[in-house]
């Protein structure tokens, strides 16, 4: 009788141990790992209120007016804060120079406030902006401080949460208004194209 009882107890213990071994001690860990979501930039809104960015663009331009302004280049450095997912406001500093047909140099340095609206398709952004401010202008021995305006559109690829690169096309308008001699007043203008990189934070 004792032998039968001991045999039954031993059999139950063996079966219980074998059943326990069918469940790996790592099974719970693996299932938890599988349930942890793995997020990428595509899972988030590209921009949110309070986000900030710094952009640096290298630009070339062709002169439209005055007619003796040929071509030139410069750069644009700016800072923007998003007021919403689709709009940012900031400032930009855009020093440029251009060659004239007489081989002289025309300098203009706009400092402007900038508002930008954003359209987003996947990782691509299409910012449409308007900048307005003042520009110091220099040609030969003449200096002038006047208003400046710059409409611009771009296409950017958001490579990561921190960086985006893109191309921009726009125009710069530089009115020169002489109230004492309106005959000499004029509006300078250029067509610009640039390569830009932006840091988002």
Whether 52 and 18 share a structural domain:
no
CATH code, domain with 126? 2.40.160.20
Helix, coil or strand: residue 7: helix
Whether 95 and 152 share a structural domain:
yes
pLDDT tens digits for range 1-47: 555 545 555 565 555 555 545 545 445 545 555 555 554 555 556 88
**CB contact at 8 A, 77 and 55:** yes
pLDDT tens digits for range 13-24: 555 555 545 545
- pLDDT over threshold 70, residue 48: yes
Whether 28 and 49 share a structural domain:
no
Whether 63 and 138 share a structural domain:
yes
**CB contact at 8 A, 53 and 80:** yes
- In terms of residue numbers, what domain contains 166? 45-200
| High-pLDDT (> 90) share of the chain, % | 64
Whether 54 and 151 share a structural domain:
yes
Whether 7 and 51 share a structural domain:
no
| Comparison of pLDDT for 66 and 128, the residue scoring more | 128
Whether 65 and 11 share a structural domain:
no
- pLDDT-derived band at 110, boundaries 50, 70, 90: very high
Considering its fold, how many domains does the chain have in total?
2
Whether 57 and 92 share a structural domain:
yes
Spatial CB neighbours of 88, under 8 Å, sequence gap ≥ 6 = 47, 53, 80, 81, 82, 115, 116, 118
């Amino acid at each position: 009788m004792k032998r039968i009882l001991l045999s039954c107890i031993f059999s139950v213990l063996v079966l219980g141990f074998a059943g326990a071994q069918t469940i790996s001690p790592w099974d719970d860990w693996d299932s938890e790992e599988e349930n942890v979501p793995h997020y990428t930039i595509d899972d988030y809104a590209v921009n949110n209120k309070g986000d900030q960015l710094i952009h640096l663009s290298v630009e070339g331009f062709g002169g439209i007016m005055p007619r003796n302004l040929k071509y030139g280049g410069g750069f644009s450095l700016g800072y923007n804060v998003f007021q919403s997912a689709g709009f940012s406001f900031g400032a930009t500093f855009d020093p440029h120079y251009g060659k004239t047909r007489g081989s002289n140099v025309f300098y203009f340095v706009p400092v402007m406030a900038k508002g930008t609206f954003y359209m987003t398709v996947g990782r691509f952004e299409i910012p449409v902006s308007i900048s307005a401010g003042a520009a110091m202008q220099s040609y030969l021995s003449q200096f002038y401080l006047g208003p400046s305006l710059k409409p611009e559109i771009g296409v950017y690829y958001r490579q990561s949460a921190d960086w985006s690169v893109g191309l921009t096309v726009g125009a710069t308008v530089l009115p020169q208004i002489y109230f004492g001699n309106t005959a000499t007043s004029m509006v300078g203008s250029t067509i610009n194209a640039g390569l830009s990189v932006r840091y988002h934070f």
